[in-house]
Structure 1
Amino acid sequence: MASVKHTRPFAGFEWMIAWRYIRAKRAEGGVSVMTWISLIGVTLAVFALIATLAVRSGFRAEFIDTIVGANAHVSVVAPREVITDYAEMAERILTVEGVESVAPLIRGQSMAEGNSGLIALADIYGVHLDDLKTSDAIVDSDLTYGDIDALPVGIALGSALAANLGVTLGDRVIITTRGGAASPMGRSVRRNAYDVVFIFSTGRFQIDEVRAYLPFEEAQLVFNRDGVADELEVRLEDINQSEALKQTIANVAGPGLWAYSWQDRVGRFLRALTIEDNVMFIILSILVLVASMNIISGLIMLVKNKGRDVGILRTMGLTEGSILRIFFICGAGIGTLGTLFGVVLGCLFAIYIDQIFSLVNYVAGGGVWDPSIRGIYNVPAELHLSDVVKAMSLSLGLSWIITIFPARRAARMNPVEALRYE
């Protein structure tokens, strides 16, 4: 009795037959149109998923960088009071491991008036020049201009605030505050004029629209804070340690003082971003699933059209496993190629997003991205390997799994029934 030889799984002839089926035209019993639809659908779905994940990561990183770069990592305040011994307190806080710098701060609101009579609300920060230089978002931005070292004899304005006031470097700005002498009618109005010596851009429109910096001693005079500070700005070596260190900083600062981190200020927004990210990933995962369903449709049609071929192959000795693998290669191959094309397009989109949106803005005649509404000046994108792997795994997993069902149906086809009417 002759021995039966078993071929190894995914042998060369299985790949050859699958390739012939994929590229077969409709007249030959193929479904080339459905193949192209499935391929394009998976490609676009994976592209959309990777592009969305990249923009999502970019928005989160941009938000944290601009918020943390222009503000304290941990703020120390005395509720409803001012801080009198701020110099000694700063020295004590500096002894905490992980603290990089501590800066006293004066804060107050005022009305700012430009040369042309334009008026805007200004959030005044009084800081020492050396402390302001530690803020990378203020002094190291590519969009800043002027001389930061001239701050002791002038004022620094956010770029959007300067634009709203219609002023530029060398122009004079009048700051109006209720910091004058006390009277039965309340405090009198105080008006001070300063030359604009520095214009900065933090990358976040809401900050640039209201933020202004004065020398610390000048701000003390303007807001009647002689010899005191409103709060202490603490910068850490690692911003992720803010939650862990804030209580230690409050204890070292002294009794009656509170410390809150940057996460306390924007934590609710970050949690909302996390929820939105998860929902967006689920929605786009459904999009990938829908695109993968096209593979099933095409594969079912292919199995139906190739029923006679399946019957012949089975009578020639091919096993159910070989038939299953042939049709699995057809469906999984389309899903794999679509995934690879989608990954390439998604990565290129994330890498060249600035150029793409510049082109879109040019074609549309400008105004596509309004920073006063969006809060930032461009569309950020940050490509992470984990996001790419996540998108690839999802697409490949779905396309391979759903391919099994029509392939299994083809493998179980009875060759006698397949050839009965041939």
Structure 2
Amino acid sequence: MPDLSSTKPFSRFEWQIAWKYLRARRKEGGVSIMSIISLVGVALAVFALIVTLAIRSGFRTEFVDAVIGANAHITVYAPKSRNELGGLVNMMTDFDGVAERAAAVPGVTRAAPIIVGQVMASANGRNAGVEVFGEKPEDLMTIPFMAEPEETYGDPARFSEGVAMGAEVAFNLGLQVGDFVTIISPEGTKLPFGGTSPRVGEYEVVYIFRAGHYQTDNTRIYMPFGEAQSFFDREGVADQIEVFIDDPEAVDAVSDGVFEATGGVSYLQTWKDRLGRYLRALQMEDNVMFILLSILVLVASLNIVSGLVMLVKNKGRDIGILRTMGLTEGSVLRIFFICGAAIGLAGTAIGVITGCLFAIYIDPIFDAFNYIVGGGAWDPSVRMISELPAELKLADVLSAMALSLGLSFTITYFPARRAARMNPVEALRYE
């Protein structure tokens, strides 16, 4: 018979005894129904944590894409100066040179000078407040959503002959390709005897696009750069340089290079500067959600204690016999630790697998559920998105696994320690 007092930790016989206890039926003093409930509880908690984190990541990505997908990642401005009307404006004279230097920065995919103005568009007796972007014809189709729009009408090659507008702008004004739209700017020309006169221009609609971004489709009109300079009285200047990069999340690192390339004549604003409050709110919501679901994992893990305590109570006679045969306290502790840890490990594994599968196939699952309930479970017209976004990230899965296993292993130690300290004489007194 081996010397049980000199065996290495987690020896083969310790695993065998623990496995025997886990396999034993309830009437034999094995794993109780509480342990099965604990396993299911841990699995469900980990499942919920992974799915929630995936959906939160998906919504964050949808939010960021919706906001920055149609807007510059970095905007380069010239120092403000006063125009003839006394208003503060950005006048950039060397806009081609600034755009060329910005485009040469590593990570930049597009840099183009633009003119921006708030105007009123009018057609068919209808009016709408819109934002006009003056773009060079060769730069128009390099805009990400212009390169891959959801719907298009007309010919972008004719952009230099008219204007391009969002589909919802055209719908609200009752316009089609070939119709004319009147654009009125309140920042008019200065009259000889004081006051100003609004600028008015009539342009043919040569291209209609649907970008899939609410703000862009409902409020944006693109005008040829030269025509925008003339209409907004920006002859020889540009308002700003819009810069797009290949990785919007790395905008802080790229902006430093853009600033160095255009430094001395400009200041920058990144998309994070514009959306900082919203991103912080999303991050705070993610943290709160993780904490709340962590409590759920903790409650599920605590059930392991109940099952392990019952197991220790049922196996008191076995503990007494093993101790009298020379089994050390450490071996007893490890045997029951293996029992509790196995439940936590199995529950975590089941939760991770089911949670990942649910996040990956969330759209077919919701489609099936919609079909079963007869529709209405997910209405795109109400929620403004056609599908439930879910983005499974390795970091989220690993954090859920680490949390579940850490809690399971930690709380398992205490009932295992109680079993190890059981007095063998007391355990066998009534046997």
Shift of 1:36: 2.1
Shift of 1:345: 1.6
Q: How does 1:187-206 map to 2 (within 5 A)?
A: 187-188=197-198, 190=200, 192-195=202-205, 197-202=207-212, 204-206=213-215
Gaps of 5+ in 1: none
SS class of match (1:75) = strand
1:295 aligns with 304
Count of aligned positions: 413
1:131 aligns with 139
Q: Is the 8 A contact 1:126 1:215 kept in 2?
A: yes
Q: Residue deviations 1:79-136, cap 9 Å, x none?
A: 3224252445436634864355431212122344576x66543222221232222222
**1:170 equivalent in alignment to 2:177:** yes
Q: Is the 8 A contact 1:155 1:213 kept in 2?
A: yes
Alignment CA distance shift 1:403-1:126 (3 Å): same
Q: How does 1:85-164 map to 2 (within 5 A)?
A: 85-90=93-98, 93-94=101-102, 97-98=105-106, 99-112=108-121, 120-141=128-149, 143-146=150-153, 147-161=155-169
Q: How does 1:326-405 map to 2 (within 5 A)?
A: 326-362=335-371, 363=373, 365-366=375-376, 368=378, 370=380, 378-405=387-414
2:323 aligns with 314
Q: Residue deviations 1:236-273, cap 9 Å, x none?
A: 46652344235324525x2xx43222222122322333
Quote the Cα distance in structure 2 between the aligned partners of 1:3 and 1:267: 66
Alignment CA distance shift 1:367-1:48 (3 Å): closer
Alignment CA distance shift 1:48-1:154 (3 Å): farther
SS class of match (1:234) = strand
Shift of 1:153: 3.8
Match of 2:260 among 248, 263, 275: 248
Q: Is the 8 A contact 2:99 2:113 kept in 1?
A: no
Alignment CA distance shift 1:119-1:306 (3 Å): farther
Percentage of matched positions with identical amino acids? 51
Q: Is the 8 A contact 1:205 1:377 kept in 2?
A: no
TM-score by length of 2: 0.82
Amino acid at match of 1:248: E
Q: Residue deviations 1:322-351, cap 9 Å, x none?
A: 322221121111110111111112211222
Q: Is the 8 A contact 1:25 1:31 kept in 2?
A: yes
Quote the Cα distance in structure 2 between the aligned partners of 1:187 and 1:245: 42
Alignment CA distance shift 1:279-1:3 (3 Å): closer
Shift of 1:75: 1.5
Q: Residue deviations 1:58-80, cap 9 Å, x none?
A: 33344444444422232122432
Q: Is the 8 A contact 1:246 1:261 kept in 2?
A: no
Alignment CA distance shift 1:378-1:213 (3 Å): farther
Gaps of 5+ in 2: 81-87
Quote the Cα distance in structure 2 between the aligned partners of 1:330 and 1:156: 68
Q: How does 1:35-74 map to 2 (within 5 A)?
A: 35-74=35-74
Point out the more displaced range, 132-141 or 320-329: 132-141
1:278 aligns with 287
1:413 aligns with 422
Q: Is the 8 A contact 2:158 2:206 kept in 1?
A: no
Shift of 1:18: 2.5
Quote the Cα distance in structure 2 between the aligned partners of 1:108 and 1:152: 18
Shift of 1:399: 0.5
Q: Residue deviations 1:15-48, cap 9 Å, x none?
A: 3432343344443334442122111111111122
Alignment CA distance shift 1:367-1:15 (3 Å): closer
Q: Residue deviations 1:351-396, cap 9 Å, x none?
A: 223333444555462473557766x654333222222222211211
Alignment CA distance shift 1:178-1:198 (3 Å): closer
Q: Is the 8 A contact 1:177 1:222 kept in 2?
A: no
Alignment CA distance shift 1:4-1:114 (3 Å): same
Quote the Cα distance in structure 2 between the aligned partners of 1:312 and 1:164: 86
Amino acid at match of 1:129: P
TM-score by length of 1: 0.83
1:259 aligns with 268
Point out the more displaced range, 66-75 or 31-40: 66-75
Quote the Cα distance in structure 1 between the aligned partners of 2:242 and 2:3: 81
1:28 aligns with 28
Quote the Cα distance in structure 1 between the aligned partners of 2:348 and 2:170: 48
1:14 aligns with 14
2:84 aligns with none
Amino acid at match of 1:289: L
Q: Is the 8 A contact 2:74 2:268 kept in 1?
A: yes
Quote the Cα distance in structure 2 between the aligned partners of 1:366 and 1:165: 32
Alignment CA distance shift 1:212-1:379 (3 Å): farther
SS class of match (2:10) = coil
Alignment CA distance shift 1:323-1:213 (3 Å): same
Q: Is the 8 A contact 1:151 1:198 kept in 2?
A: no
RMSD (CA atoms):
3.3
